[in-house]
Structure 1
């Protein structure tokens, strides 16, 4: 048996970071040295002397051999197809030009030699062990007495049952197996690792995943989600209808009316200590039924709830993915820090390819200020968990409502220098749903990720409505999110905000305008796509993105298929994409992006300011496509307006004297922003404030006692200006609602009058949402309610004021629940006493008179109660001829009830004190 010469250099973490940077920048000279974890390996050029008898017993598997095969050049698509046709499996790609393979024992060496193979070697056991295992870095969570807990991944060529049986013979205990997958959790003596790694069916061994740790209104406006979900007849109404979203978290969610009729799986009170999933779910999918201020991103989506499982192999998750119930998942949990490309990373990347419409959304983590071994200190490389390192998933940074980065938000790069996080969203200082119909403060990247998941659901619906109901590919949605994001931090992408802060409105418009395409490219080929840019364009952004095949566990860099994009303008000038310096050095990592060749990421973007009009060629080249052909998406944004008001932009219902935040988008502006407000559809304007040129928001409270349906916002920067697309409302809603009577399937609801209101919309909770069941011109309504057959009721009600003449409708008042049997069923009975007695003046702020008309009564008692049913005044044995008085001048404004008992008859009258 011939010996194999693999020259290996142990290059540890900091030096390794320099190595992959150098290798990533090498584009011309052939490089046959491969890097795997912390080692650099020189592959021998042995194909001219190689024989299958050279392979050791540890490489024999399923009537064939496993090992590493290296080509002189990345094989063309024809060669890749030829190998597949002959059952020559190129399993995982390992740069450079190298694959993990399984070939039948009968494979012709001449076939390999004639198709560009340079080297064949077995895989030594140490290359099957994760870096932590190989170096003895065993976390406390992976210690099991005298054993350690590991995850083993076996090759596809053997069954899990076979592997489990073989492990039993070795006295290795199985902790957990995952049906349908090749991963097995084991408990094993530390001194058995070498023997285990040398077994031919073992593909990879790593420590079990680190413990799961949760990553603990204004967001809708910052995300521009409100522009996608205007809740008006004239505006966009993308609320995620038809899309399934999955909360993978700390157990049951709710019960809460904000998920009425749309929640499935683990539903119910999970205890006050397990409310993390409640907060995640409300931001992602809450309807704001109880309080419209806390409406989530995708209020029409179907919300599924399961427990978080770090393996992503749990049946609860995969069943919902496989049967099409769920398209978007959210997991706001950390498992370790900058864990590298693990078996879990492989799983989530593969799931995104196997189920093209599946989008995994994760929190980036709250671990900034933690040194996770990237080599640049505690401000870089601290994205938490292997799943977040995935190429085909989204990891979300955390911002305040004003778009500034929260200091604790984890920062990139990924372990191999790729751009992470992918995008940013508001997660800090949110208010979201809690158990038992409550709301509570919620924040961290845990709140940012469901914001992205919810906006993604809105975009899925936008795509389906534009494309005949067809579900989009998750890679397309991810590309659209990143390409339309508002730039934040350094110009271009960076390792803090990723590609910027999500802008759902721009993303939705891109989908509506059809500014996207898909194609595929093979090794060495180039496709050219032409897009037309109109005159007056302020900015052109073009992005190519592809869901990349899963890399081998431990691979670095993790990129498998490397595509290049260049954009050529009408004058033949070539523009290259953004690139970042991922050298593990704080200065390098914080340096703004430049333009050049990217060898790390499965996304590239070209940005051109003030582009000339004409046709632009987008050239996509398969620079290195070892597992092709590779599908890709090109999305492009043509921004024609330098300045765009995004909130309030038409149809919003604001309350007077209650602070909100005005938002606008600005591209290539330099002057400060002047923000103005109109109450009369733009006839006159009042300046609110002037803010700095680098600011795109302003906190503002509409004036007190203002009622208008013709409100507009105008923002001006030098020669550029924009106004809200349509009017919005400023008004107050009723200060309270009162339930006077519930009887015989009817409820009587009353409320104090709202200034300038002409009528009132009365709401009850329907199948999914609060629905208008009556419109009345009085301050009282009788509505039908359902009784359960035993005389009990359970319903939610609310009221909004409106003035159709002036064109405004107020925000709904916070909904109130009634749960119980009949209430005051005697009220409203048209008996003699009720028709005889009257109150005046009503409303009153001084004395109110009780008039008995022409009737004479003896034994008269009077009781005054407030809206809570508390008695605040009584008078017995009232002597009266035809009237008596009550002084209410000291009482607070509100609704009261006057109960009169006379000669054995009782009636109750409403009294409004103003």
Structure 2
């Protein structure tokens, strides 16, 4: 009866207030323990077995734990139960990992393995004393192995056969003990690779073996399934009119990424591509297969522009270091350092993964140890999909970034902008798994996020070069590079920061300009220390913007929140005492919250914080940074700041002739940068086609829109734009619009070649370029004529281009590069034939330089090459360089034909010999005859035969064997 009474008493307790349990947990545990001891004594007296008593004790223990659990929030209890072996736990020296659940704060000096949420964690306990301490202050139980699984692995296990083999990632506290443990259970061939920085091993085994043998190992604290990487683009999308790229190229000569090595992590680039040739650094970790995608990424980042102006990348003088994306961890830091790589492009993804995995930790660790290194990732092309795991699962259009490595804190992820200049619907969006802002930037990528990432990588390379040029070749910290990019980005999508575009669209010109003007500062802080800088804001400012960025140490794998060291940014107007806090986005897991505007509040999630103040009141603004929660001291940081002035204006595109090439685009966007207080303020945009003598009004426009869609006029002229505003008139650069120079290889002989091009009415002369012993086209000679015969002995080059030099000194567009091996031969381009009805043939010759040719002779040869018949000569100068010879009475079988080109200097040039197969006057010809069963029987039809007919094959008995279309072909007669 006493037992029943005690159980009733505990049941009654379970219905009391939750507050009672939060303060009386030790008392309830004591009651439960006393009840079990009493029951043990009574059952021994009546003869129950120890096994039965053990089972019943476990049931009662679970009962009391259930009663206790009713005092805890439901979701906390479910997490606790899901990861616990038994909720009535005791210390076991064979079980190092325990799950704890607390009501207030986690006790200090705990060996934290993984934080599951803000009140639940996996900890490591190595003594009874430590266990007793936690048992007094928390709910504690031996942890099962489920806490080690990544969300992706959990889904994988439930959806794949247990006996099929896959590649898995295992992470431990010590890489040495983890490898030792794996070696004991796996064959050598099953251990694929080891990543020491993240303390991870890639293994190949079945899911069943993983769960039953590997997951219980105390050396394993995390497991994930490896997913192959895929590139995230279909067709190249690159426009130098975006991001101030043309302004950067025109206004800051020499800002081209020289001496910077950009990594391309995916497949191998084509080393023979004209725009990256000669600039590939030797790499022992490159993929073996070459891809068009990798080559295009390299072209966007730093193409030389040898092929044409649209092949010129942002950092056109950088070098490239290829590495393979079969390794999804950060590349070996020693190998990257040997290759002098300082920025690496990652235009690939896997699946949507909303967790901080081993790959994410490896990239954070790499940047932590190599603070100058910048990793740039494409956000992904899964913008219409949704995550199936984590806090933000099932929310369409959000939290769909592809790959757990993109959950790292010290990297840049980039969204894509479509042709209309807005965020592409296919572009992946944030937030990151823990609510952090991601992607951080957006860039032009109409066909995917891959090229958007490459545009940012190219910009970073130029920033690094410009900084190094004025800092003794030292590279900038990645925290400075990120802060500058975020602070100079142009706001798009929603006002302020958002989960679609991050801080906005990258502005390459403004970013490089900020580096050159040194609009930044730096410092380092320990816990509770404060750093500050005062900025004076005069009258007439449009906005003050300040951005803080720091590098954080790598977090624990699968942690609920990645940030370890937290800094806080604020700006104070000293005269009024007004305090401005950073922009912070809501993180609640629903569409309304995630699409809401940013608020000013303390940021405790991100390694970057930004404050923007529109129309700042004049005075002194103190930018301060506080070390709020620093566990790894000291933490270095950078602050970038900028004041934009009201009523300023400048054209940013077009800048030069290649920006207005009508042969490539009939319409372009005229773009400008301005800061006005009134978004309804109007300016009149005009264009001049005679160097400013006369102006044509295009449209009155709202200045804040920043662009106008302009149809390029079909003319040859020097053009420029003018914007008339209430605060002044502003003019663009003068630029030439007109027909692009097109070269033609007239002939290519063994001793010489002739290159020609059309005349440009504005040109005083022309410069011929050649591609030879360097990575770039170089000037070969300057001439007045529109053609040039070039000695191949003096100039042994294969690629040529021509650029007009205009009388007004303006740059013109250089022609596309021409290769002498692209089909042009010695004084002729092509010789071909068409079979006609009635056993006739039309033989056609196209010559390259008619002015050098006297006449054309077509010849019929024997099979031994002897001239059998020469047809009457055709005088050159007629037929527009194309000459025909009609031939009748073709032989049954093969007819041999060629052309002889008689030059005006008396020399003859012979074409190749054509072999023309004909049935003669027979409707159908079979060969070889007699037939051989070891080879196919071929056949050809006379041209006049029925085009829609059929060929019927019979055997000797008249049995129909097959039907074939009435055209030349072959049949197997074996």
User: Match for residue 637 of structure 1?
Assistant: 642
* Native 8 Å contact 2:96 2:124 kept in 1: no
Q: Please give the secondary structure, in 2, of the residue aligned with 1:753.
A: coil
Residue by residue over 1:611-643, the C-alpha shift from the partner in whole angstroms, topping out at 9 and shown as x without a partner, is 233331111112222333222111112222543
Report if aligned partners of 2:740, 2:815 keep a CA contact under 8 Å in 1: yes
Contact 2:459 2:508 in 1 (8 A): yes
d(CA) in 2 for partners of 1:403, 1:99: 45
Distance 1:734 1:899 in 2: 29
State the 1:424 CA deviation.
0.5
**Given the alignment of the two structures, is residue 614 of structure 1 paired with residue 619 of structure 2, yes or no?**
yes
> Is it true that 1:867 corresponds to 2:848 in the alignment?
yes
Retained in 2: the 8 A contact 1:785–1:795? no
Distance 1:172 1:735, change over 3 A: closer
Trace 1:242-641 onto structure 2 (pairs within 5 A).
242-265=259-282, 274-313=291-330, 318=333, 320-373=335-388, 374-375=392-393, 377-428=395-446, 443-571=447-575, 572-640=577-645
Aligned to 2:223: 205
Structure 2 partner of 1:39: 79
Instruction: Tell me, yes or no, if structure 1 residue 57 matches structure 2 residue 91.
Output: no
Q: How far did residue 397 of structure 1 move?
A: 0.7
Match in the other structure for 2:196:
180
CA contact (8 A) 2:721 2:731 kept: yes
Partner of 1:124: 143
Q: CA deviation at 1:254?
A: 4.7
What is the distance in 2 between the residues matched to 1:784 and 1:91?
73
What is the deviation of 1:886? 8.2
> Corresponding residue for 1:663?
671
Unaligned runs of 5+ in 2: 1-25, 30-71, 85-89, 829-843, 858-873, 883-899, 911-974
Paired residues of 2:93 and 2:127 also in contact (CA < 8 A) = no
Instruction: Please give the TM-score of this superposition, normalised by the length of structure 2.
Output: 0.70
Residues 283-336 of structure 1 show CA distances to partners (whole Å, capped at 9, x for unaligned) of: 222122111123222211111223212522556xx5542324211111222211
**Structure 1 counterpart of 2:248:** 228
Contiguous gaps of at least 5 residues in structure 1: 6-31, 45-52, 61-65, 429-442, 827-862, 877-883, 893-897, 909-914
Asked if the contact 1:399/1:427 (under 8 Å) is kept, the reply is: yes
Deviation at 1:143, TM superposition (A): 5.4
- For 1:902 and 1:359, the matched residues in 2 are separated by 63
Using the alignment, how far apart are the partners of 1:227 and 1:722 within structure 2? 16
Alignment of 1:87-126 (within 5 A): 124-126=143-145
Instruction: Output aligned runs, 1:793-804, within 5 Å.
Output: 794-804=797-807
Structure 2: distance between partners of 1:702 and 1:383: 39
1:749 to 752, 755, 762: 755
Q: Does 1:241 align with 2:243?
A: no
Q: Tell me the CA shift for residue 508 of structure 1.
A: 0.9
In 2, are the aligned partners of 1:228 and 1:458 still within 8 Å (CA)?
no
Cα distance, 1:362 vs. partner?
1.2
Which SS does the other structure have where 1:258 is aligned? Answer: coil
Taking the aligned partners of 2:387 and 2:339, their CA distance within structure 1 comes to 37
Q: How big is the shift at 1:871?
A: 11
Q: Which has the higher helix share?
A: 2
Aligned length, in residue pairs: 775
The one of the two structures with greater contact order (alpha-carbon pairs below 8 A, sep at least 6) is 1
Partner SS, residue 506 of structure 1: helix
Moved more, 301-310 or 674-683: 674-683
> Counterpart in 2 of 1:12?
none
C-alpha distance in structure 2 between counterparts of 1:223 and 1:394, whole Å: 17
- The answer on whether the counterparts of 1:644 and 1:665 sit within 8 Å (CA) in structure 2 is yes
How many angstroms apart in 1 are the aligned matches of 2:161 and 2:292? 30
Distance of aligned partners of 1:376 and 1:109 in 2 relative to their CA distance in 1, 3 Å threshold: closer
Question: Do the aligned partners of 1:794 and 1:817 also contact (CA within 8 Å) in 2?
Answer: no
Contact 1:794 1:819 in 2 (8 A): no
How far apart, in 1, do the equivalents of 2:877 and 2:671 lie? 50
- Counterparts of 2:75 and 2:793 in 1: how far apart (Å)? 69
Deviation at 1:607, TM superposition (A): 0.6
CA distance 1:903–1:346, change in 2 (3 Å): closer
Deviations 1:381-426 (A, max 9, x none): 1111111121111111111244212111111111111111111111
Q: 1:27-53 CA distances to partner (integer Å, 9 max, x unpaired)? A: xxxxx9999998369999xxxxxxxx9
Secondary structure at 1:202 match in 2: coil
Compared CA separation, residues 189 and 449, structure 1 to 2 (3 A): closer
Deviation at 1:534, TM superposition (A): 3.9
1:33–1:40 CA contact under 8 A, matched in 2? no
- Find the counterpart in structure 2 of residue 434 from structure 1: none
Contact (CA 8 Å) 1:535, 1:612: kept in 2 or not? yes
Partner SS, residue 327 of structure 1:
strand
Match of 1:734 among 732, 741, 747: 741
Distance 1:34 1:528, change over 3 A: farther
- SS of equivalent residue, structure 1 residue 311: coil
- Counterparts of 1:637 and 1:300, CA distance in 2: 29
Matches within 5 A, 1:151-166: 151-156=169-174, 158-166=176-184
The two structures have a TM-score, normalised by structure 1, of 0.74
Query: 1:499-550 CA distances to partner (integer Å, 9 max, x unpaired)?
Result: 1111011111111111111212222222222223344322111011112222
Aligned counterpart for 1:712 among listed residues 713, 717, 720 = 720
Where does residue 818 of structure 1 map in the other structure? 820
Compute the displacement of 1:152 (Å).
1.0
SS in 2 for 1:312: coil
CA 561–820 in structure 1, closer or farther in 2 if over 3 Å, else same: closer
Residue of structure 2 in register with 1:849 after alignment: none
Contact 1:733/1:801, CA 8 A, preserved across alignment: no
Give the 3-state SS of the residue equivalent to 1:185 in structure 2. Answer: strand
Who is 2:810 aligned against?
808
Distance 1:870-1:135 versus aligned 2 partners, 3 A rule: farther
584 and 180 in structure 1: CA distance in 2 versus 1, 3 angstrom threshold: closer
CA deviation after TM superposition for structure 1 residue 753, in Å: 1.9
Q: Aligned partners of 2:712 and 2:704: how far apart in 1?
A: 24
Q: Find the structure with the greater CA-based Rg.
A: 2
Q: CA RMSD in A?
A: 4.6
